[in-house]
Structure 1
Amino acid sequence: MECPQKDCFQSNANLDIMKAGSVLRKATSRMWKGQRHYKLQDDCKTIMYKSSWTLNSYSTISVGDVEAVREGHQSEVFLSMPDEFPPECCFTLVFRGRRGNLDLVASSAEEAQAWIQGMQMLIENLQNMDECEKLDQWVSDLFMRADKNKDGRISFKEVQKLLKLMNIDMNELHAHALFMMSDMSETGMLDAEEFVHFYKLLTERKEILELFQEYTSNGQALSHCDLEEFLREEQLEGERSHEHALELIHRYEPSDTAKTQQIMSVDGFLMYLTSAEGSIFNPEHQCLYQDMTQPLNHYFISSSHNTYLLDDQLKGRSSVEAYIKALKRGCRCVEVDCWDGPNGEPIVYHGHTFTSKILFKDVISTVAKYAFEASEYPLILTIENHCSVEQQTVMAEHLKNILGDMLLKITIDGKVPSVLPSPEELKGKILLKGKKMGELEECSDVDNLESSDVSDGDDDKAEDLDNQATESTNSKENLSKELSDLVIYCKNVHFSSFEHSRNHSKPYEMSSFSESKTRKLIKEAGGDFIQHNKRHLSRVYPSGLRTDSSNYCPHEMWNVGCQIVALNVQTAGLEMDLNDGLFSQNNRCGYVLKPEILRNSERFDPEFPDNRKDYCPLSLTIQVISGQQLPKLSKKDWSIVDPLVRVEIYGVPLDQTQQETKHIENNGFNPYWNETLQFVIHTPELAIVRFVVEDYDMTSKNDFIGQYTLPFSCIQQGYRHIHLLSKDGTSICPSSLFVHITIKKAS
């Protein structure tokens, strides 16, 4: 069996150098810079390395775990010792999830380029694979793992061990029968092609075959009309099913003859169902499909708390790498905690703790480089300012000099806004959120500013001036004018009450709320909070008692329209699953338009969703049919998972619920549940659905296997595959669930 990548890499000079191996220096600090021998394996998927001081001990790096390669001094380690190694010899491997980077130094610029370009080619190839190619890759990996002596053949004993690794406890007689059916050469061994045949017998999807047979008119293939009927009746595609059927045959049918005849085989049918189009997530919602011209406060904004931290907020490491990870995952609001540093340079860290410190100017340089890599829409810098006036002035200079035209220094139209500008109007701009002296009308950088808000009466303005005077007197004592002037649309103000905000606050004024304060306000005046968020931005942040950088559940804050619900993105778990799920739509641009009920004039109360005029609850029926190739949790050969599926609904209190299937004993390879779970969704616009697969344990807590989270509004009906993600939110291909989804009006 040839590696799917291998053919296109046969004569690549860079890969030849990588396969020959290189002695590269691993740089971790000024104190330790060890040498290791790194070598790309022939499968083009694995890098083996051995420390110079070990004899026969090898470790491996999977190319699939590497997200990107950075050239030169583009990591914290290299930036901390720029004179130690020439930049042309340096490169950094950036791993997916929360694994730390690997900083390497080659002996020459040519050798470094070979590894940089070679790795980039391998990564790009993996990223461009479709589901079928990924599956081929996985099967190839299985064969190579079983082929211990690398002679291109495997015995039945090796197959038995492999079945345990594949999470399947199969009857030995049945496994041997499949083995003999696949041994075409009658040698008692399987070569690569024979193993593919064995794998196909092993993974035969009876539930798919039955569905295929139900819609085929001749028992052999789906005609164009058969497929059109399936799309219309089961996938509820309606009007576009005719054209779509032709497109699917052309795209997924592996046989050219079948394509010519406009028919689809069972293999093509399976390829369609496991593709992105057969996914539970509606592809139309993955692109930029929402209106981006509404005021900024009409959007949920992907937000990070303590962005500088990679770990906990007591002893954790502060790093510019944390900003890179947050920005690359689509965060549009990041936090910078600023304190006075040595030599007149402000530093960033979690004050009064043992977290490490980084330079403010390094943070801003990192932001300048990565701000718009994942999204072109505005980035908000939340400045937690603990600096002296002198170092605040230094901060202002760094912001202006490093960010340049990206930094918003004046209102976009030269006027004081009656409403906030839109993400579309602020494309490519970085906004500063922080304290400001006085009003935007007084900003010295704006010529002839005129308020476009004509609703204020004279009495209101007089009272505002009294409040401003008090605030300005206090602020001027410890706030740099240069920094103050850079705060335009996100002036941070103390929250007094919803009534005071309604009568006196400007559109560009916003407040920050702790999670406990937010919950108290939701409980006491949830409807008023929603009305407040129709006019202003609100930021919510985790409790200071969360020293382990854990998170709160964000959905209750979203329910009342809070836009900037900041989480510790460095901490995986349910809360980040919900955040990633919400922002997985709209091209992952970090902005999601709030539903109409949180933007219009009608009062909406999450506690009583049935009081709204257009109340229309929906029934969600999920038939959990089967699972495919769930990951093995234990390295012990005899340990096979006992999987169950739980479906969790998050949203307004009335929608908070969960249901689960029974567990299947000793089968993580192709478990079959065929159980139906049913829910009533009272506020579909705010509902988020989370699928969780766990390994059942009678005596202790179930172990997590995988999850997938998405907004209810993005669900496709019909027969769908759910491609599972790890706790870190990364793909664990080819693990998936097969379900049938029905959504209709609740009776």
Structure 2
Amino acid sequence: MDPGGSHIEDDPDVKVMMAGSTLKKVKSRSWKKQRHFRLLEDAVTIWYKSRWAGKGHSTFSISDVEAVREGHQSEVLQSTAEEFPAELCFTLVFHGRQGNLDLVAKTPEEAKAWIEGVRKLIRKAQTMDEKERQDQWVRDWFLKADKNKDGKMNFKEVQTLLKMMNVEMNEDHALHLFTRADKSESGSLEIEQFVHFYKMLTQRDEVWKVFQDYSGDGENLLLEELETFLSMEQHEGGQSYQLAKMLIDRYEPSESAKRQDIMSLDGFQSYLCSQEGSIFKPKHLDLHQDMSQPLSHYFISSSHNTYLLEDQLLGQSSLEAYIKALKRGCRCVEVDCWDGSDGEPIVYHGHTFTSKILFRDVISTLKEYAFKASDFPVILSIENHCGVEQQTVMAQHLSKILGDTLLTTLLDGQVPQQLPSPQELKGKILLKAKKLNNPEDCLDETQTDEVSDEEAEDAESPSTGNPPARKKSKLSKELSDLVVYCKSVHFRDFEHARSNAKCYEISSFSENKAQARAKDEGTDFVRYNTRQLSRIYPDGLRTNSSNYNPQEMWNVGCQIVALNFQTAGLEMDLNDGLFRQNGCCGYVLKPDFMRDSNTQFSPDKPEERQGYKPLRLSIQVISGQQLPKVNQKEGSIVDPLVRVQIFGVPGDQGVKETPYINNNGFNPVWNETLHFDIHTPELALVRFEVEDHDRASRNDFIGQFTLPFTCIQAGYRHIHLLSKDGIAIPPASLFVNISISELT
């Protein structure tokens, strides 16, 4: 059986993986155990077990793996470097928040085969189209459920499998389809027959109804019928002829239909489930914004206490946390630096039991991963608790490791009147820290500088809650000289900033202080943020690494709204949603009324700004497809409901939901329409969340998708759901019909 067209099983590396290898799994310097690993026949599932564990085994899918790193690239393998040479070692990195798998092969050749083999399989999984992905998903389930591994399933086994897949269905109907799929009349289905059975099962009435509305003969859509559908329903405007031709070419499975320029129901359903049929405007996914404006004109994806993988008191500090944040497009990372015992600065959350990592290792990681997801600049926010000596060591590491990547001089040697643009700063790392003088001065004496608010607040010891006494802290000239466009200063008030502040001065605000100012001085805050950067960080009491709602800060134009990237939930969904546009580059251009220094905009009175044009958003929630089970252990099927939330200026915040549907996670149909009036569409985010209704306790989360209002495509659209970690969970989706009109 070939899962997707090209014969990857013939690849020599993949053959080694299928034959199986005994690899050492390493968890720490003291925990190293032999495990037998092999790639199953589906060329997607990796299976492993210990020699002694009897029946116990584990599996994971290639689609769970984000990357393979060679050699000593993880902290665990670095710590065992003397024992295991680099050419035997590799690390499998998983999507989301699942820990890495560190492995050691017996020979360099075996390590190479696994490294290259897994990489080829990841590439293959990424290039699968929607249809192949769906088929692969169905096959994965079949293999999971085929307990005796004979590649066959009788009706009873199929019923059990359907329940595992969240399908509750009429037994007679299921048996009828089973019999139709059982071509050989053997009383059991082989994998290909099961895929066929599943396809019959998933034929969707609601898609067929839409198709019928536009198809003259009820069998096919002619090119002009598809064109009419695209302009009438999908609001595709002028280019609907070319688009119709392209869609037939891309999504119609039948070659003869393609030749006649017609689309079958299968092709139509494929198109609706594709990228073009999704709710997100495809061109907004690409880098499409003007990147030549000053940095202060962009929202910037930003992380707080980037070194932490867990909570703020006992959690682990890790280089992996930096890698994960940077790969998600984060463009501002934070480093808390403290004096280390052997003259080497260390990074951890001061006065707590979080583990410690070396400053120089953080900088090496930054050098390697800073520009993998985006070419635009990374701001390195230093919270400096070191004495002058180790600050100088920090400066040496920064200069030596980062080299030309670190920006250390003004771009044109002129006194800047505005900040440079992301375009001008491509591939550069900027240091945000205290500075003894201004970038245009050339003073050289060491001055004293007061501890800033943020450092006083952030240095609060969680055990006592008392801020340390305000002390004068000396700054190292070497470190100070590396700061150019992000000089940290204490914020006094907006009046003072207007008359005295320089564009390269940046202040930090705790979430509470920022909220208070946003409430009382909204327009002043928006104006301040047209020229200067402001960084917002979570309250010191959030020891569990929870997050605040970033939307309130974006509403007043704050650029660096720092969140705990390690914590899944609504707040990170909003961050991912905002930064999903513009090529996931970590920079999003603010609306024009937030870039004008004389703006009258206030989030509380959106109607008073120029160009005010409120819109009505209507969402018909039609149906759901293959929603995942919340609880695999219990035999229960989900009772799904859809909740739609609007996040934006205070007057736009809203939430509405559909009723729940009993016992159907497979193809629930709601046909409920929800209406929202939106006064500042340019700032609004729309979040779709599916929950499992529970009478007795809180509803369980099933999946979500969040996107900017300005990126929504009207018409019949699919919303491809994401897990708590923001990872795709194909084929789970919602089918909706969206219309946007002017509010009269």
* Aligned with 2:630 (options 608, 629, 633): 633
Aligned pairs for 1:446-525 (under 5 A) are 478-525=474-521
Partner of 2:738: 741
- Structure 1 stretch 183-192 or stretch 159-168: which is displaced more? 183-192
Q: Does 1:56 align with 2:52?
A: no
Aligned residue for 1:614, secondary structure, equals: coil
Aligned pairs for 1:43-442 (under 5 A) are 43-442=42-441
Deviations along 1:56-96, one digit per CA (max 9) or x if unpaired, are 32111222111000001111112223222100000000000
Aligned residue for 1:534, secondary structure, equals: helix
Deviations along 1:382-437, one digit per CA (max 9) or x if unpaired, are 00000000000000000000000000010111112000000000001000000000
Partner of 2:696: 699
Preserved contact between residue 152 and residue 191 of structure 1 (Cα < 8 Å): yes
Partner of 1:450: none
Give me the whole-angstrom Cα distance separating, in 2, the residues matched to 1:426 and 1:521. Answer: 31
- Tell me the CA shift for residue 637 of structure 1: 5.7
Change (3 A) 1:231 1:84: same
- Tell me the CA shift for residue 183 of structure 1: 2.4
Give me the whole-angstrom Cα distance separating, in 1, the residues matched to 2:429 and 2:691. Answer: 42
Give me the whole-angstrom Cα distance separating, in 2, the residues matched to 1:30 and 1:365. Answer: 23
Preserved contact between residue 93 and residue 101 of structure 1 (Cα < 8 Å): yes
Change (3 A) 1:187 1:29: closer
Preserved contact between residue 523 and residue 599 of structure 2 (Cα < 8 Å): no
Give me the whole-angstrom Cα distance separating, in 2, the residues matched to 1:472 and 1:205. Answer: 63
TM-score normalised according to structure 1 size = 0.95
Aligned pairs for 1:30-45 (under 5 A) are 30-45=29-44
Identity of aligned residues (%): 64
Give me the whole-angstrom Cα distance separating, in 1, the residues matched to 2:334 and 2:193. Answer: 56
Deviations along 1:192-248, one digit per CA (max 9) or x if unpaired, are 333233212211100111111110122211111000000000000110101111111
Give me the whole-angstrom Cα distance separating, in 1, the residues matched to 2:442 and 2:350. Answer: 31
Partner of 1:460: none
Partner of 1:722: 719
Preserved contact between residue 23 and residue 104 of structure 2 (Cα < 8 Å): yes
Give me the whole-angstrom Cα distance separating, in 2, the residues matched to 1:226 and 1:710. Answer: 30
Partner of 2:459: none
Preserved contact between residue 438 and residue 472 of structure 1 (Cα < 8 Å): no
Q: Which stretches in structure 2 are left out of the alignment for 5+ residues?
A: 453-469
Partner of 2:456: none
Preserved contact between residue 443 and residue 485 of structure 1 (Cα < 8 Å): no
Give me the whole-angstrom Cα distance separating, in 2, the residues matched to 1:228 and 1:215. Answer: 10
Aligned residue for 1:302, secondary structure, equals: strand
Q: Which residue identity lines up with residue 664 of structure 2 in the other structure?
A: N
Q: Which residue identity lines up with residue 730 of structure 2 in the other structure?
A: C
Q: Which residue identity lines up with residue 685 of structure 2 in the other structure?
A: I
Preserved contact between residue 208 and residue 270 of structure 1 (Cα < 8 Å): yes
Q: Which residue identity lines up with residue 236 of structure 1 in the other structure?
A: H
Q: Which residue identity lines up with residue 118 of structure 2 in the other structure?
A: M
Q: Does 1:602 align with 2:565?
A: no
Q: Which stretches in structure 1 are left out of the alignment for 5+ residues?
A: 446-467
Aligned pairs for 1:613-692 (under 5 A) are 613-636=610-633, 638-692=635-689
Give me the whole-angstrom Cα distance separating, in 2, the residues matched to 1:384 and 1:471. Answer: 13
Partner of 1:535: 531
Preserved contact between residue 410 and residue 439 of structure 2 (Cα < 8 Å): no
- Tell me the CA shift for residue 587 of structure 1: 0.2
Q: Which residue identity lines up with residue 215 of structure 1 in the other structure?
A: Y
Partner of 1:454: none
Aligned residue for 1:510, secondary structure, equals: strand
Give me the whole-angstrom Cα distance separating, in 2, the residues matched to 1:363 and 1:19. Answer: 37
Preserved contact between residue 449 and residue 474 of structure 2 (Cα < 8 Å): no
Give me the whole-angstrom Cα distance separating, in 2, the residues matched to 1:48 and 1:363. Answer: 34
Preserved contact between residue 301 and residue 587 of structure 2 (Cα < 8 Å): yes
Preserved contact between residue 152 and residue 189 of structure 2 (Cα < 8 Å): yes
Aligned residue for 1:403, secondary structure, equals: helix
Give me the whole-angstrom Cα distance separating, in 1, the residues matched to 2:146 and 2:550. Answer: 48
Preserved contact between residue 623 and residue 674 of structure 1 (Cα < 8 Å): yes
- Structure 1 stretch 7-16 or stretch 60-69: which is displaced more? 7-16
Partner of 2:707: 710
- Tell me the CA shift for residue 147 of structure 1: 3.0
Partner of 1:570: 566
Deviations along 1:166-203, one digit per CA (max 9) or x if unpaired, are 11221212221222222222222223333233212211
- Tell me the CA shift for residue 5 of structure 1: 4.1
**4+ residue runs over 4 A deviation:** 468-477
Give me the whole-angstrom Cα distance separating, in 2, the residues matched to 1:218 and 1:564. Answer: 56
TM-score normalised according to structure 2 size = 0.95
Change (3 A) 1:282 1:367: same
Partner of 1:451: none
Deviations along 1:328-365, one digit per CA (max 9) or x if unpaired, are 10000000000000211000000000000000000000
Give me the whole-angstrom Cα distance separating, in 2, the residues matched to 1:268 and 1:29. Answer: 51
Partner of 1:557: 553
Change (3 A) 1:514 1:80: same
- Tell me the CA shift for residue 477 of structure 1: 5.5
Give me the whole-angstrom Cα distance separating, in 2, the residues matched to 1:342 and 1:718. Answer: 62
Deviations along 1:475-508, one digit per CA (max 9) or x if unpaired, are 9961000000100000000001110111101010
- Tell me the CA shift for residue 653 of structure 1: 0.4
Deviations along 1:612-659, one digit per CA (max 9) or x if unpaired, are 132111000000000000001222463000000000000000000000
Preserved contact between residue 3 and residue 140 of structure 1 (Cα < 8 Å): no
- Tell me the CA shift for residue 602 of structure 1: 2.4
Q: Which residue identity lines up with residue 19 of structure 1 in the other structure?
A: M
Preserved contact between residue 692 and residue 708 of structure 1 (Cα < 8 Å): yes
Give me the whole-angstrom Cα distance separating, in 1, the residues matched to 2:533 and 2:191. Answer: 59
Give me the whole-angstrom Cα distance separating, in 2, the residues matched to 1:347 and 1:309. Answer: 14
Aligned residue for 1:269, secondary structure, equals: helix
Give me the whole-angstrom Cα distance separating, in 2, the residues matched to 1:194 and 1:77. Answer: 45
Change (3 A) 1:78 1:150: closer
The two structures, once aligned, show a CA RMSD in angstroms of 1.7
Preserved contact between residue 164 and residue 637 of structure 1 (Cα < 8 Å): no
Give me the whole-angstrom Cα distance separating, in 2, the residues matched to 1:160 and 1:227. Answer: 38
Give me the whole-angstrom Cα distance separating, in 1, the residues matched to 2:584 and 2:723. Answer: 19
Give me the whole-angstrom Cα distance separating, in 2, the residues matched to 1:411 and 1:246. Answer: 51
Aligned residue for 2:617, secondary structure, equals: strand
Aligned pairs for 1:575-586 (under 5 A) are 575-586=571-582
Deviations along 1:97-155, one digit per CA (max 9) or x if unpaired, are 01111111101100100100010011111111111110010121233234333333211
Give me the whole-angstrom Cα distance separating, in 1, the residues matched to 2:120 and 2:89. Answer: 18
Change (3 A) 1:287 1:276: same
Q: Which residue identity lines up with residue 244 of structure 1 in the other structure?
A: L
